[in-house]
């Protein structure tokens, strides 16, 4: 028998140098973190908007509870709506007189014009007394208008 080639021990390849990880997992991790941050920001903004909206509606509820139904209650509810509009719809807050009443009627199309809050506000300007049911209806309608303005706000 003939002697075959002489075998040497198995040699391992040299150690690899410093390799950067694949870019795709790192990119996906960064995108996931950005998406998570954006979702947290949106959630926080939503919570803050809900709290702010709740404060406005609570202020309206206090007006309904603390003031007797009449001209002062309607005037306070109207002023609260004006204050909210200064923040959320400045172009509507600048309206006065008939333009304000027309805007209010357009905001609440479900209320009949003769019995809506605009008609009651128009009458309240000239009357010293309002019937409690008229004042209550106008105050509730102003509350619905406030809620609608807050819904439309970004």
- Cα separation of 92 and 104, whole Å? 9
Burial 38-77 (b: 16+ CB within 10 A, else e): eeeeeeeeeeeeeeebeebbeebeebbeebebbbebbbbb
End-to-end CA distance of the chain: 93
Residue 20 backbone dihedrals phi, psi, to 5 degrees: -80, 145
Segment 33-82, tens digit of pLDDT: 999 999 999 999 999 999 999 999 999 999 988 888 887 888 888 889 88
CA angle, 81 then 84 then 87, to 5°: 150
Q: Give percent of the chain with pLDDT exceeding 90.
A: 23
């Amino acid at each position: 028998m003939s002697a075959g080639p002489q075998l040497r021990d198995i040699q391992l390849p040299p150690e690899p140098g410093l390799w950067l990880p694949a870019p795709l997992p790192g990119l996906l991790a960064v995108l996931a973190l950005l998406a998570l941050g954006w979702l947290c920001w949106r959630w926080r903004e939503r919570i803050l908007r809900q709290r702010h909206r709740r404060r406005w509606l609570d202020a309206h509820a206090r007006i309904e509870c603390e003031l007797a139904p009449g001209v002062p209650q309607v005037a306070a509810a109207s002023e609260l709506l004006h204050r909210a509009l200064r923040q959320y719809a400045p172009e509507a807050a600048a309206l006065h007189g008939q333009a304000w009443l027309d805007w209010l009627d357009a905001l609440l199309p479900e209320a009949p014009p003769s019995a809506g809050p605009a008609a009651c506000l128009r009458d309240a300007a000239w009357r010293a007394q309002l019937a409690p049911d008229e004042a209550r209806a106008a105050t509730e309608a102003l509350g619905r208008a406030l809620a609608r303005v807050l819904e439309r706000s970004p």
